[in-house]
Amino acid sequence: MNANYLQTPIAYLKGVGPNRANSLQSELGISCFQDLLNLFPNRYIDKTKYYKIRELQRSSADVQVVGKIIHLKTVEQKRGKRLVAKFVDDTGEIELVWFRGQKWIKENIKINKAYVIFGKCNWYNGKFSMPHPEMEFLEEHEKGVKIAMQPIYPSTEKLSNTGVTNKVINKMMQQLFLDCKGQFSESLSPKIIHELRLISKSDALFNIHFPKNQELLAKAQFRLKFEELFYIQLQLLGKSKARKQRIKGFVFDQVGTHFNNFYKNHLPFELTNAQKRVVKEIRADLGTSAQMNRLLQGDVGSGKTIVALMTMLLAIDNGYQACLMAPTEILANQHFNGIQELLGDLGIKIAILTGSVKKNQRIIIHEQLESGELHILIGTHALLEDKVKYKNLGLAIIDEQHRFGVAQRSKLWHKNNLPPHILVMTATPIPRTLAMSLYGDLDISVIDELPPGRKPIKTVHRYDSNRLKVFGFIKEEIKKGRQIYVVYPLIQESEALDYKDLMDGYESIVRDFPQPEYQISIVHGQMKPADKDYEMERFVKGETQIMVATTVIEVGVNVPNASVMVIESAERFGLSQLHQLRGRVGRGADQSFCILMTSHKLSNDSKTRLETMVRTNDGFEIAEVDLKLRGPGDIMGTQQSGMLHLKIADIVKDNDILKTARFHAIQLLKEDPSLENPNNLVVRHMYTQIIKHKNIWNYIS
Q: DSSP letters of 441-482?
A: TSEEEEE-SPPTTPPPPEEEEEEGGGHHHHHHHHHHHHHTT-
Residue 514: the pLDDT is 92
Question: Cis before residue 9, ω within 30 degrees of 0?
Answer: no
Please check whether the two domains, 5-45+156-182 and 52-144, share a CATH topology. Answer: no
Residue 270: the pLDDT is 87
Question: Distance between CA atoms of 319 and 321, rounded to whole angstroms?
Answer: 7
The rounded percent of the chain whose pLDDT value lies above 90 is 42
Question: Distance between CA atoms of 618 and 637, rounded to whole angstroms?
Answer: 22
CATH of region 458-616:
3.40.50.300
Question: Distance between CA atoms of 224 and 245, rounded to whole angstroms?
Answer: 31
- Of 433, 436, 439, 446, the closest CA to residue 402 belongs to 439
Which amino acid makes up residue 627?
Answer: L
pLDDT in tens, 538-590: 998 899 999 998 865 544 567 888 999 999 999 988 888 898 889 888 877 78
Which amino acid makes up residue 138?
Answer: L
Residue 43 has pLDDT above 90, yes or no: no
- Please count the other Cβ atoms lying within 10 Å of the Cβ belonging to residue 675: 21
Question: Distance between CA atoms of 507 and 509, rounded to whole angstroms?
Answer: 5
Which amino acid makes up residue 13?
Answer: L
pLDDT in tens, 315-332: 999 999 999 998 888 788
305 close to 339: Cβ distance less than 8 angstroms? yes
Residue 55: the pLDDT is 86
**Pairing mode of beta strands 149-152, 43-46:** antiparallel
pLDDT in tens, 180-215: 988 899 999 999 999 999 999 999 999 999 988 778
Beta strands in 303-399 (DSSP E): 321-325, 350-353, 376-379, 393-399
Question: Distance between CA atoms of 267 and 376, rounded to whole angstroms?
Answer: 18
Residue 406 has pLDDT above 60, yes or no: no
249 close to 230: Cβ distance less than 8 angstroms? no
Residue 483: the pLDDT is 94
The rounded percent of the chain whose pLDDT value lies above 70 is 89
CATH architecture for segment(s) 52-144: Beta Barrel (2.40)
For residue 327, the 8-state DSSP code is S
Residue 692 has pLDDT above 80, yes or no: no
pLDDT in tens, 426-479: 877 777 666 766 666 678 888 888 777 778 899 999 999 999 999 999 999 999
The model's confidence at residue 158, banded by pLDDT at 50, 70 and 90, is confident
Phi, psi of 129 (to 5 degrees): -140, 155
CATH 3.30.70.20 fits 257-447, yes or no: no
First to last CA, the chain: 8
Q: What is the CA radius of gyration of the chain?
A: 33
Cβ-based neighbours of 196, under 8 Å, separated by 6 or more: 226, 660, 664
Q: Report the pLDDT averaged over residues 675-696.
A: 83
For residue 615, the 8-state DSSP code is H
86 close to 75: Cβ distance less than 8 angstroms? no
Residue 120: the pLDDT is 85
The model's confidence at residue 643, banded by pLDDT at 50, 70 and 90, is very low
Sign of CA dihedral 491, 593, 591, 532: positive
**Cα 611 to the center of its chain, rounded Å:** 21
- DSSP calls for 666-699: HHHHHH-TT--SGGGHHHHHHHHHHHHHS-GGGG
- Secondary structure class of 536 (helix, strand, coil): helix
Cβ-based neighbours of 627, under 8 Å, separated by 6 or more: 431, 433, 434, 635, 652
pLDDT in tens, 223-277: 999 999 999 889 888 877 777 777 778 889 888 899 999 999 888 888 999 999 9
Residue 525 has pLDDT above 80, yes or no: no
The model's confidence at residue 642, banded by pLDDT at 50, 70 and 90, is very low
Query: Looking at 81-90, 524-533, 614-623, which range is the least confident one?
Result: 524-533
222 close to 238: Cβ distance less than 8 angstroms? no
Query: Looking at 127-141, 398-412, 591-605, which range is the least confident one?
Result: 398-412
Question: Distance between CA atoms of 594 and 581, rounded to whole angstroms?
Answer: 9
470 close to 566: Cβ distance less than 8 angstroms? yes
For residue 270, the 8-state DSSP code is P
Q: Report the pLDDT averaged over residues 43-61.
A: 80
Question: Distance between CA atoms of 310 and 281, rounded to whole angstroms?
Answer: 12
Question: Distance between CA atoms of 349 and 650, rounded to whole angstroms?
Answer: 50
Mean predicted lDDT score pLDDT of the chain: 85
Q: Which residue has the higher pLDDT, 577 or 640?
A: 577
- Secondary structure class of 118 (helix, strand, coil): strand
Burial of 212 by CB count in 10 Å (0-12 exposed, 13-18 middle, 19+ buried)? middle
Residue 691: the pLDDT is 77
Residue 436: the pLDDT is 65
pLDDT in tens, 474-510: 999 999 999 999 998 875 546 666 667 788 888 989 9
Query: Can you give the pTM of this predicted structure?
Result: 0.63
- Please count the other Cβ atoms lying within 10 Å of the Cβ belonging to residue 602: 16
Q: Report the pLDDT averaged over residues 375-401.
A: 88
The model's confidence at residue 654, banded by pLDDT at 50, 70 and 90, is confident
Identify the CATH assignment for 5-45+156-182 out of 1.10.150, 3.40.190, 1.20.1250, 3.30.70.
Answer: 1.10.150
Q: Which residue has the higher pLDDT, 143 or 482?
A: 482
Question: Distance between CA atoms of 598 and 57, rounded to whole angstroms?
Answer: 46
Residue 667 has pLDDT above 90, yes or no: yes
Annotated domain spans of the chain: 5-45+156-182, 52-144, 193-246+650-699, 257-447, 458-616
Q: Name, of 145-159, 499-513, 655-669, 686-700, the range with top average pLDDT.
A: 655-669
